[in-house]
Structure 1
Amino acid sequence: MDRKSLAAAFPVTVPVLMGYLAIGMAFGFMLQAIGYNFIWAFFMSLTIYAGSGQYLGVSLLSSAAALSTVAVMTLLINFRHLVYGLSMLEKFRGMGLRKFYMIFSLTDETYALLSSVQPPVGVDPRNFYFSIALLDQSYWILGSVIGAVAGALLPIDTTGIDFAMTALFVVIAVDQWSAYKRHLPALLGAGVTLLSLFLVGAENMLLPALGVIVLVLLLLRQRLDERGTAAGEEETTC
């Protein structure tokens, strides 16, 4: 990684910076509220680095949940990250040991950036992607530490503060919708998720929905690739 890659990656990550400072601070507030200081916030954000998983961790810590419960709940809520890593293996090819960090760092927001942005001319793609991942995690760590410190100094009611994560997801979804002309994958994802919610309920919907979405997208992969190629050729012609 070099300064040129960092300079190119920073403007791309500014939306994530704004979001991660907000939801990271919310996590820090919540963690401090149950008696865990900024040191815990720092190391959880450094080693776990999963927004929804860390929000869940606050609830599990406050209820002194068993280790088995923690393992199962974390797997369920972050199962989608397995799909993220598999879909990025080709892009991370040739990154050496950095590939393991890249897979670890694939939060929803980082994945959205890596799957859509292109490295500027003259910037090494691998350094560019690595810079994006590293900057995003640094924003999350900074936000969580600030939140924990502020929570220790200020009396803040944390009721409803965890909605900050949901709000960021909505913003990213809207941005992705605007960035792409083809909306079939998004519509399929929304439809399958609603169907899963209706059939098995909110508590059990995640794994069935993800499984069906992956299966449907694999079955339609050739058709989606053909449409993407055709759209690209049409734009070039225009």
Structure 2
Amino acid sequence: MDTKRRALRAAFPLTIPVMTGYLVLGTAYGILLADKGYGAVWALLTSLLIFAGSMQFVSIGLLTAGFHPLYACAMTLMVNARHLFYGIAMLGRYRGIKKVKPYLIFGLTDETFSIVCTTDPPEGVDRGWFYFFVTLLDQLYWVAGSVLGGLVGGLLPFDTTGMDFALTALFVVIFAGQWQERRNRLPALIGVGGSVLCRMLFGADSFVLPAMACILLLVTLLQKPLAREELP
């Protein structure tokens, strides 16, 4: 119990920025879902079982229109293909973790990845339980926000125009936080530069996968500079 308590105490402060973003973003998702006739129960189930923010926003359109299951699978793969690269990046950090590893894989969102890939557990804190609580807390924030949005959206009328932009806004806030906290900003520059380059080459509809591949290649080639922390 002490092991888990120490891990929870170490993980919670790191997830506070995600909490503020997920509560707002999850509420927006719940409101959008309620606006289409699906209440808080649907928000709860999708947030527990799907737990993929961008794909959950896309799923609202899938639920309200006729779709083929194979089309839904292909759409999910396209929207969340970046997680293939997230998984590759986590091979080292998740190595040796057994009991909670399946949940860590399931719960690896963009924001959780941002914390896990840049943060080591404090001395004396179990690595597996530390990553577990980071992941669990992030999902609980999302579930709470989406259920709240489902309840509020079902009771009060809302103009939902522009609410889906909350996802983009959260990514920008997390990027800004990482930029301020990290002394070595080469990873951020690689991410932005690779994305902009592929956006120019492949267009808005087809740049995500090439951008991820480009970023992965650059990170692999520049491992030594990335591992070296610059002096302030």
Give the TM-score of the pair, scaled to structure 2: 0.92
For 1:213 and 1:121, the matched residues in 2 are separated by: 31
Matched, 1:20 2:27: no
1:187 aligns with 2:176: no
Counterpart-to-counterpart distance in 1, 2:222 and 2:17? 31
User: SS at the partner of 1:109?
Assistant: helix
Residue equivalent to 1:65: 67
In the alignment, the residues of structure 2 paired with residue 17 and residue 194 of structure 1 have an alpha-carbon distance, to the nearest angstrom, of 29
| 1:3 CA displacement | 2.4
Q: Does 1:128 align with 2:130?
A: yes
- Match for 2:110 among 97, 108, 111? 108
8 Å contact kept, 2:100–2:128: no
- Deviation track 1:120-155 (CA, whole Å, cap 9, x = no partner) reads 333222211111111111111111111001100111
> Which of 107, 121, 129 is residue 119 of structure 1 equivalent to?
121
SS at structure 1 position matched to 2:94: coil
Query: Which secondary structure does the structure 2 equivalent of 1:155 belong to?
Result: coil
Aligned equivalents of 1:63, 1:167: Cα separation in 2: 27
Identity over aligned residues, as a percent?
47
Q: Which runs of 5+ in 2 are unaligned?
A: none
How many residues are paired up? Answer: 230
| Displacement after TM superposition at 1:58 (Å) | 1.0
Q: 3-state SS of the aligned residue for 1:158?
A: coil
Show the counterpart of 2:200: 198
Partner of 1:167: 169
Mark the runs of 5 or more structure 1 residues left unpaired by the alignment. none
Residues 132, 151 of structure 1: alpha-carbon distance in 2 compared, 3 angstrom cutoff = same
Amino acid at match of 1:117: T
Distance apart, 1:82 and its partner CA: 1.2
What is the rounded CA distance, in whole Å, between the counterparts of 1:16 and 1:154 in structure 2? 26
- Superposed displacement of residue 223, structure 1: 4.2
Q: Which moved more, 1:167-176 or 1:72-81?
A: 72-81
Amino acid at match of 1:197: R
**Aligned partners of 2:179 and 2:185 also within 8 Å:** yes
Which segment is superposed worse, 2-11 or 145-154? 2-11
Match of 2:53 among 51, 54, 66: 51
SS of aligned partner of 1:202? coil
Report deviation, 1:163: 0.8
2:150 is the counterpart of 1:148: yes
- Return the alpha-carbon distance in structure 2 between the equivalents of residues 184 and 128 of structure 1: 26
TM-score by length of 1: 0.90
Instruction: Decide whether aligned partners of structure 1 residues 141 and 189 sit closer, same or farther in structure 2, where only a CA change above 3 A counts.
Output: same
Cα-Cα RMSD: 1.7
Question: What is the CA–CA distance in structure 2 between the aligned matches of 1:207 and 1:188, rounded to whole Å?
Answer: 15
Q: d(CA) in 1 for partners of 2:154 and 2:226?
A: 50
Residue 81 of structure 2 corresponds to which residue in structure 1?
79
Cα deviation for residue 24 of structure 1 reads 0.4
* Distance in 2 between residues matched to 1:150 and 1:215, nearest whole Å: 45
Residue 181 of structure 1, CA deviation: 1.9
What SS is found at the alignment partner of 1:95? coil
Aligned residue type for 2:204: A
